[in-house]
Amino acid sequence: MAQEASALGAERARRPSIEGEGPAGWLEEVRSEVDAHLACFFDDRRANASRLIGPSEHQSLLVDAIADLTMRGGKRLRPALLVAALAAVRPARSVRDVLAPCASLELLQSYLLIHDDWMDGDLERRGGPSVHARLREQQGESGDALAILAGDLGSAFAWELMLEAAWSSGRGRELTATFARIHQEVVLGQEMDLVGSIDVSRMHRLKTGSYTVAGPLRLGALLGDANDGQLRALERFGIPLGEAFQIRDDLLGTFGDVREVGKTIGGDLRVGKRTALVRELEESVSEPDRAPVVRVLGRAASEVEVEAARRALITTGVRARVEARLESLLDDACAALEGGELSEPGISMLAELAGALTFRRS
Amino acid sequence: MAQEASALGAERARRPSIEGEGPAGWLEEVRSEVDAHLACFFDDRRANASRLIGPSEHQSLLVDAIADLTMRGGKRLRPALLVAALAAVRPARSVRDVLAPCASLELLQSYLLIHDDWMDGDLERRGGPSVHARLREQQGESGDALAILAGDLGSAFAWELMLEAAWSSGRGRELTATFARIHQEVVLGQEMDLVGSIDVSRMHRLKTGSYTVAGPLRLGALLGDANDGQLRALERFGIPLGEAFQIRDDLLGTFGDVREVGKTIGGDLRVGKRTALVRELEESVSEPDRAPVVRVLGRAASEVEVEAARRALITTGVRARVEARLESLLDDACAALEGGELSEPGISMLAELAGALTFRRS
């Protein structure tokens, strides 16, 4: 249920705002301010946990595990989306006005990554051990139970931070309702994935789109006391962007550079994942031409077979059509920004993030 | 981390309020009102989940699993404590004024039971399969992951219900801060248990006392807009009561009636749990007299050996001293009610619950 994106790098430079190299100044500012706020938060939570568990233990393994994962990386793109949406409705406001909800989104992400990595059996995350892998090393067979607890604690931390923002906001009730809805949507999306739902695009909208794109945008807009027109514009921006984000993920999983993506390329094919590529193949390619791909789906196929499948996805035009769909979604998203409801600086920040989320290499 | 108690039956009738047979009318009222509210809540959440996951799935397995566990049983003692604390500060208020926070406590309990049963490998709960056992039956190897998700969803539901109360209360900020603290205390208490902390009474205070006794009392008091003196009185009542609750649990685990407790008696000895009995033994009994107990601790001991250990706990006076400690804690708790801060009807409800929590047979 948890996915990460990189703000760095852009395969193409179709959108003016991503022509530059590397992230803009405001993205760097979001990252460093959010990191500093998180560091303080964890110091405080560590001290609080030590007080609660008393002198017989040194400090909480769980707080350490969450802090380590959260501080180890992540581009803080969800906080950046929140900040950009805020700027789109209140140009004078900056990340410093919304540090608690930004930090909350990162804790939500950590909670989801911890439970998700355990469910998927992923032992690595953000260039280090996943939380259950680390806790197994430290505590043996209790490691898995401790990892589930670490996720539970991360969820409580995320709520604590979001509530801090909600009680100081005139739109607090809507903020917490949105946050509760995000939690539920992510979990239901993950349920759809685990039971093998055939409605893959809906599954992705719930499992990833909600907490990665639509949720942060709505929270930022509410923190800026957005009007209904602004909320609608941001929603029309967020829905196609969330889908485009997922398509990029699918493209990287089959055609990415292993050194940049950090996971085995072709794994999606071998586990038979119903990616955007597979769905396009089924919809537009005749049976015989599908064969090289169908042969590897859900099988421990050899590298030669996977390479043949990859070539078939190119020669049948599937890859190009999926890329065109991504472009078209991105156009839809950017068009939604232009209705006159949102501020110019905010629009340019949002367009830049749209690029970062969909033209990433990892 | 999750424990359950029964309101039914009282071994002795030392407290006047528990002389009667079976629960009083107000306890029955709490139970039926909370059950009705939960049933409506689940109908609503089921419909909402079906809308979200769309027509390709019939309905959410997760919502069904949480609803089934929550409605299958439970004495609603945490809601009853909340209602009694409310009555102690605002005698005119009743359970109908606080249905959402009462239901929230039951969802919190379901979430904790689901994750806890998975951690402990317990396959039964409330006279039926535990959630991970049920989901394994339904979904095979995804069952465990789905159970963790079901707990996650239960936590989100609990927050949603508590927030409903918080946004209509003048003390909402304190309500949500208390609820966030309860979550964190339970998780840290469970961490202490999993890493084998030696500070057992602190572990129990965090792991069980917080969400079972102290938390519900404080939430009820805040919902009644309690003053500081009232909050302190309820805290002085709740801390010894939480410890007494745990001691009763320890006594039942070694001396209870298997048909009533519903789990193997003596299991605590065989897993070497540091119960109140074991601690009293270590503090007050000489090495040779301890032998029959020490022999079975943490071992797959025979029924004959366990029976010998039980006899030794009686002949050395350990059981009697632990029971006296429970009585003394209960006296402390009830004495805390008498400072003049709390209403008479509330005091009698709280005393009745103190009895139900500590003189239970299961």
* Cβ–Cβ under 8 Å, residues A99 and A223: no
The residue among B61 and B22 whose pLDDT is bigger is B61
Residue with token string 């108690």: B5
Is the predicted pLDDT of residue B14 greater than 60, yes or no? no
- Give the pLDDT score at B251: 93
Average pLDDT over residues A59-71: 96
Is the predicted pLDDT of residue A183 greater than 90, yes or no? yes
A159 interfacial to chain B (CB closer than 8 Å) = yes
Average pLDDT over residues B231-259: 91
- Which residue, B5, B20, B11, is CA-closest to B323? B11
The residue among A317 and B10 whose pLDDT is bigger is A317
What is the phi-psi region of residue A247: left when phi exceeds 0, alpha when psi lies from -120 to 50, beta otherwise?
Answer: alpha
Is the predicted pLDDT of residue A16 greater than 50, yes or no? no
- Residue numbers in B near A167 (CB within 8 A): 172-173, 176
* Percent over 90 (pLDDT), chain A: 77
What are all long-range contacts of B115-122, with beta carbons under 8 Å and residues at least 24 apart?
A: B115/A148, B115/A149, B115/A152, B115/B1, B115/B147, B115/B148, B115/B151, B116/B1, B116/B2, B116/B190, B117/B2, B118/A145, B118/A148, B118/B144, B118/B147, B118/B148, B118/B151, B119/A145, B119/A148, B119/B190, B119/B194
Taking CA B299 as the corner, what is the angle to CA B297 and CA B302, rounded to the nearest 5 degrees?
A: 100
Is the predicted pLDDT of residue A154 greater than 60, yes or no? yes
- Angle at which helix B99-120 crosses helix B172-194, to 10 degrees, equals 10
- Give the pLDDT score at B2: 55
How far apart are the C-alpha atoms of A189 and B347, rounded to whole Å? Answer: 47
Out of A57, A163, A185, whose CB is closest to B52?
A185
How far apart are the C-alpha atoms of A124 and A133, rounded to whole Å? Answer: 8
Q: What is the DSSP string of B264-311?
A: -TTHHHHTT---HHHHHHHHHS-HHHHHHHHTTTTS---HHHHHHHHH
* Cβ–Cβ under 8 Å, residues B180 and A156: yes
Question: Cα A4 from chain centroid?
Answer: 5
pLDDT mean across residues, chain B: 90
Q: Which of A143-147, A270-274, B134-138 has the lowest mean pLDDT?
A: A270-274
Is the predicted pLDDT of residue A3 greater than 60, yes or no? no
- Residue numbers in B near A151 (CB within 8 A): 152
- Give the pLDDT score at A258: 66
* Percent over 70 (pLDDT), chain B: 91
Q: Give the minimum alpha-carbon distance from A206 to chain B in angstroms, rounded to a whole number.
A: 8
- Give the pLDDT score at B139: 94
- Residue numbers in B near A57 (CB within 8 A): 192, 195, 197, 199
How far apart are the C-alpha atoms of A9 and A359, rounded to whole Å? Answer: 7
How far apart are the C-alpha atoms of B149 and B1, rounded to whole Å? Answer: 18
Is the predicted pLDDT of residue B303 greater than 80, yes or no? yes
The residue type at A178: T
- Give the pLDDT score at B11: 36
The residue type at B310: R
Q: 3-class DSSP state for residue B124?
A: strand
Out of B142, B152, B206, whose CB is closest to A194?
B142
Is the predicted pLDDT of residue A261 greater than 80, yes or no? no
Contacts for A103 with CB less than 8 Å, ≥ 6 apart: A34, A37, A38, A41, A79, A161
Q: State pTM to two decimals.
A: 0.90
Q: 3-class DSSP state for residue A5?
A: coil
- Give the pLDDT score at B12: 34
- Give the pLDDT score at A11: 37
Do residue A195 and residue B139 have CB atoms under 8 angstroms apart?
yes
The residue among B225 and A10 whose pLDDT is bigger is B225
- Give the pLDDT score at A7: 40
For residue A254, CA distances in Å to A4, A197, A199 come to 16, 21, 21
In the numeric block, which tokens belong to residue A208? 């990833």
In the numeric block, which tokens belong to residue A161? 């931070």
In the numeric block, which tokens belong to residue B263? 């789990």
What is the 8-class DSSP label of residue A140? Answer: G
- Give the pLDDT score at B259: 65
What are all long-range contacts of B310-316, with beta carbons under 8 Å and residues at least 24 apart?
A: B310/B254, B310/B255, B310/B266, B313/B254, B313/B277, B313/B281, B316/B281, B316/B284, B316/B285, B316/B289, B316/B290
For residue B177, CA distances in Å to A167, B163, B172, B228 come to 11, 11, 9, 16
Average pLDDT over residues B113-136: 94
B167 interfacial to chain A (CB closer than 8 Å) = yes
Tell me phi and psi for residue B248, to 5 degrees.
Answer: -60, -40
The residue among A346 and A16 whose pLDDT is bigger is A346
How far apart are the C-alpha atoms of A168 and A151, rounded to whole Å? Answer: 26
For residue A138, CA distances in Å to A65, A109, B156, B188 come to 11, 23, 30, 17
Q: Which of A2-16, A76-90, A226-240, B241-255 has the lowest mean pLDDT?
A: A2-16
* Percent over 90 (pLDDT), chain B: 77
* Cβ–Cβ under 8 Å, residues B117 and B132: yes
Exposed/middle/buried for residue A211 (C-beta within 10 Å: 0-12, 13-18, 19+):
buried
- Give the pLDDT score at B15: 46
Kindly report the number of other CB atoms within 10 A of residue A127's CB atom: 8
pLDDT in tens, A322-333: 999 999 999 999
Tally of residues, chain A: 362
Categorize the per-residue pLDDT at A211 as very low, low, confident or very high, splitting at 50, 70 and 90.
very high
Is the predicted pLDDT of residue B224 greater than 50, yes or no? yes
pLDDT mean across residues, chain A: 90
- Give the pLDDT score at B263: 61
Which domains are delineated in chain B?
A: 16-227+343-358 (1.10.600.10), 247-340 (no CATH)
Is the predicted pLDDT of residue B212 greater than 50, yes or no? yes
pLDDT in tens, A109-144: 999 999 999 998 989 998 899 999 999 999 999 999
Q: Which of A79-93, B78-92, B259-273 has the lowest mean pLDDT?
A: B259-273
Out of B152, B159, B185, whose CB is closest to A52?
B185
Do residue B167 and residue A160 have CB atoms under 8 angstroms apart?
no
In the numeric block, which tokens belong to residue A48? 């609080």
